[in-house]
């Protein structure tokens, strides 16, 4: 059990990063924050003593403190060199969604630096990178925790890992994995409709205005975020999924609009023209309605059939998935031990505070083990 | 991180114990099983080498192996002496529901022996014992994990501890915490009734025949098992609950039958006379029905009001609690970060395999930390 000082590097101070630093500043026995990087600037505790540490509570003013070194952006190799020279074990918390940093995880781990992150990129890209990460962790006797890559702070990956590690046979995983798509369909096709039926394009606009979508809503509607999460779940369940491109993803971007550019003009044109497809979405809703069901955007892993799927599906109105509220996620684990009634985890699966909570809880577990 | 050999003592080979040993036998890097006690017999690896270990896969035949020492029942002090003399860190897995063994946990922990257990007794009795356990663990640098004391293998305590440790404010915990009472009310007052309404006493008889109740169903109906679970949750959430007797528990044993003896004759008379109270239970069901609701047996902790309650309550038919199936548990955590939609965990909360899963998963975490 840890008793020596642990050293911490944090990269990214966006929504999740800021919430994480706040949680970190209130941890008893917090590790020593010696590196804090945002896009253009890196704060460093001075070498060779690696002290004083950067104050997590008001890091924003720390850059003007004479004791703290600042520099521009460091390369992954420079961060590794700095952290691995600290006078004790070190941990990197990556609060970015940067694929370049993610692809350097094996180098961090081989150097003995543990990793905690909500960044999906490393775990949902090529299978080779996934394998390299866990092999490097073993080689460097370092740890890697990434609970918040699926369902934010909800206990999803820890539960799945426990099921697998204790020898249960996970047969199927199914759920709503995107807060955005949860909100869109809970609003567009509620179980008990009151008042006039909403148009799909209006619901998307409303979600965009409320800040529930990415700045470019196509980044939610293309299903890629859900596909990345399913890739991670499937791999933990034992399937060797090559990449999120190796299984069918139903995109909610109409084929006619697929070629619009990924620019702000492209976003504007997409939002303007989306109403042309309201009829198609209404038809999907009505078809489900006729069967006494509602339509939802779900992901599923069938472990036996080695099948991963992401797309629209109809659900009975009294099912847990149909009854979901707001932008909640729901994840059902069907296993041999749990039988016909799955183990279910449900709740907010997005947002700075709850995502940071998953990161902080992971960090605590890493500190307990180092 | 652990690399040295860890030594394991296991007490209890009932339903949970047997399932646990099976899971243990399949663990990679399993600890060395050096003590296995059932009610009348204790198997021991021979001292001073503490080897060969007892084979977890077929412990039942190990007692006849010449290399394994057997003796009668050991006292907690004797078990502590044996385990703490092992040539490495040791862990006790208590798969009994023995209050005497539970009250000796502080002695185990002070001697540096970690504890993993589904035994509720130690954590739901006097507050002094609770405090003594965690103080002793700190003093002995030992660990104590007891996930399966609430909701069996469901991630209930780990989730609550993560919420608390990361600084979230848990405001309320509510749920169905007994598989038996879940089955009884899901059957007695289903959301969508089909066919004639069941009598309460018939539902209890049916559950008893199916093995869903304790041998004496009054041990489920008195609410004490639920009260013990609520005591544990409330304490982790920060409330200093003195004991399960310090808050109101609504017993489902009619006052007129409360004085029947705890003998098999008492069970028989209770089951025979329970139908006299079918009218009272039917009235409760009908009252809920008139309000468009169903009646359920729930427990709740209101952290702000410092209020713990166990008993019957009405729930809207479209609520998650009303929609529960079979003998599932459901636990909702309302917190500041999660806002109006709680974090929910749902699934089987009883049974040998899933309870053992919680024990095995805890053991893995202890091994990772020692």
Which chain B residues touch A343 with a CB distance below 8 Å?
Answer: 153-154, 345-348
pLDDT category at A195 given cuts 50, 70, 90 is low
Section A20-27 average pLDDT: 96
Determine whether the interchain pair A323/B326 forms a contact, defined as Cβ–Cβ distance below 8 Å.
no
> B8-60 pLDDT, tens per residue?
999 999 999 999 999 999 999 899 999 999 888 899 999 999 999 999 988 87
Q: What is the pLDDT of residue A1?
A: 43
What is the maximal distance between C-alpha atoms in chain B?
70
pLDDT category at B197 given cuts 50, 70, 90 is confident
Return the residue of A nearest to B323 by Cα: A318
Q: What is the pLDDT of residue A3?
A: 57
Enzyme catalytic residues of B: 229
The distance of A277 to chain B (nearest Cα, Å) reads 32
Q: What is the pLDDT of residue B350?
A: 87
Chain A contact present for B305, CB below 8 A? no
Residues 166-205 of chain A whose Cβ lies under 8 A from any Cβ of chain B: 166-168, 191-192
For chain B, the three-class secondary structure string (H helix, E strand, C coil) is CCCCCCEEEEECCCHHHHHHHHHHHCCCCCCEEEEEEECCEEEECCCCCCCCCCCCCCHHHHCCCCCCEEECCCCHHHHHHHHHCCCCCEEEEECCCCHHHHHCHHHHHHCCCEEECCCCHHHCCCHHHHHHHHHHHHHCCCCEECHHHCCCCCCCHHHHHHHHHCCCCEEEEEEECCHHHHHHHHHHCCCCCCCCCCCHHHHHHHHHHCCCCCCCCHHHHCCHHHHHHHHHHHHHCCCCCCCHHHCCECCCCCHHHCCCCCCHHHHHHHHHHHHHHHHHHHHHHHHHHHCCEEEEEEEEEECCCCEEEEEEEEEECCCCCCCCCCCEEEEEEEECCCCCCCEEEEEECCCHHHHHHHHHHHHHHHHHHC
Given a cut of 70, whether residue B164 has pLDDT beyond it is yes
pLDDT category at B99 given cuts 50, 70, 90 is very high
Task: Tell me the ipTM for this assembly.
Answer: 0.94
The overall average pLDDT reported for chain B is 93
Which chain A residues touch B141 with a CB distance below 8 Å?
Answer: 1
Beta strands in chain A (DSSP E): 7-11, 32-38, 41-44, 69-71, 90-94, 114-116, 144-145, 170-176, 293-302, 307-316, 328-335, 343-348
pLDDT category at A341 given cuts 50, 70, 90 is very high
The overall average pLDDT reported for chain A is 93
Q: What is the pLDDT of residue B194?
A: 65
Least confident of A71-75, A174-178, B119-123, B177-181: A71-75
Section B318-330 average pLDDT: 90
Q: What percent of chain A has pLDDT over 70?
A: 98
Q: Best mutation site among B147, B347, B356, B363 for testing chain A: the one with the most A CBs within 10 Å?
A: B347
Q: What percent of chain B has pLDDT over 70?
A: 98
Enzyme catalytic residues of A: 229
pLDDT category at A68 given cuts 50, 70, 90 is confident
Section B168-197 average pLDDT: 90
Chain A contact present for B14, CB below 8 A? no
What CATH number labels B7-153+354-369?
Answer: 3.40.50.720
Query: For chain A, what are the domain ranges?
Result: 7-153+354-369, 157-348
pLDDT category at B360 given cuts 50, 70, 90 is very high
Q: What is the pLDDT of residue A63?
A: 72
> A301-334 pLDDT, tens per residue?
999 999 999 999 999 988 889 989 888 999 999 9
Report the C-alpha gap between B80 and B78 in whole angstroms.
5
Q: What is the pLDDT of residue A2?
A: 46
Going by their DSSP bridges, the two strands A114-116 and A144-145 should be labelled as parallel
Chain B contact present for A338, CB below 8 A? yes
Section A69-85 average pLDDT: 91
Q: What is the pLDDT of residue B211?
A: 83
pLDDT category at A210 given cuts 50, 70, 90 is confident
Given a cut of 70, whether residue B1 has pLDDT beyond it is no
Return the residue of B nearest to A331 by Cα: B345
Residue B16 annotated as lining a ligand binding site: yes
Chain A contact present for B368, CB below 8 A? yes
Given a cut of 80, whether residue B62 has pLDDT beyond it is no
Given a cut of 60, whether residue B3 has pLDDT beyond it is no
Chain B contact present for A339, CB below 8 A? yes
- Residue of A69 and A215 predicted with greater confidence: A215
> A120-179 pLDDT, tens per residue?
999 999 999 999 999 999 999 999 999 999 999 999 999 999 999 999 999 999 999 999
Q: What is the pLDDT of residue A194?
A: 65
The distance of A63 to chain B (nearest Cα, Å) reads 26
Given a cut of 90, whether residue B159 has pLDDT beyond it is yes
Binding residues of A for NADPH: 96, 120
Given a cut of 50, whether residue A348 has pLDDT beyond it is yes
Q: What is the pLDDT of residue B11?
A: 97
Chain A contact present for B164, CB below 8 A? no
Determine whether the interchain pair B342/A342 forms a contact, defined as Cβ–Cβ distance below 8 Å.
no
Residue B116 annotated as lining a ligand binding site: no
Domain over A157-348 is classified CATH 3.30.360.10: yes
């Amino acid at each position: 059990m840890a008793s020596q000082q642990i050293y911490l590097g944090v990269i990214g101070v966006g929504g999740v990063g800021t919430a994480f630093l706040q949680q970190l500043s209130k941890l008893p026995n917090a590790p020593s924050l010696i590196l804090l990087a945002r896009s253009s600037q890196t704060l460093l505790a001075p070498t060779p003593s690696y002290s004083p540490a950067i104050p997590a509570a008001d890091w924003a003013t720390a850059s003007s403190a004479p004791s703290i070194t600042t520099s521009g952006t460091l390369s992954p190799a420079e961060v590794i060199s700095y952290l691995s020279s600290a006078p004790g074990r070190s941990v990197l918390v990556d609060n970015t969604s940067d694929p370049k940093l993610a692809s350097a995880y094996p180098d961090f781990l081989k150097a003995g630096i543990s990793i905690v992150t909500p960044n999906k990129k490393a775990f949902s890209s090529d299978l080779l990178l996934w394998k390299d990460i866990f092999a490097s962790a073993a080689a460097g006797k370092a740890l890697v925790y990434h609970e918040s890559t699926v369902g934010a702070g909800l206990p999803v990956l820890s539960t799945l890992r426990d099921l697998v590690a204790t020898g249960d046979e996970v047969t199927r995983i199914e759920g709503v994995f995107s807060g955005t798509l949860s909100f869109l369909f809970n609003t567009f096709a509620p179980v008990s409709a009151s008042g006039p039926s909403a148009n799909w394009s209006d619901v998307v606009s409303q979600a965009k205005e409320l800040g529930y979508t990415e700045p470019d809503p196509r980044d939610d509607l293309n299903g890629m975020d859900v596909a990345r999460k399913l890739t991670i779940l499937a791999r933990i369940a034992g399937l060797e999924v090559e990449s999120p491109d190796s299984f069918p993803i139903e995109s909610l971007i109409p084929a006619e609009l697929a070629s619009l550019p990924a620019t702000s003009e492209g976003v504007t044109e997409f939002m303007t023209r989306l109403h042309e497809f309201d009829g198609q979405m209404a038809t999907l809703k009505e078809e489900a309605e006729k069967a006494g069901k509602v339509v939802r955007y779900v992901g599923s892993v069938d472990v036996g059939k080695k099948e991963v799927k992401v797309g629209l599906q109809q659900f009975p109105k009294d099912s847990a998935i149909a009854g979901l509220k707001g932008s909640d996620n729901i994840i059902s684990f069907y296993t041999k031990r749990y039988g016909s009634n799955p183990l279910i985890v449900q709740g907010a699966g997005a947002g700075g505070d709850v995502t940071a909570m998953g990161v902080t809880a992971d960090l605590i577990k890493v500190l307990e083990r180092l």
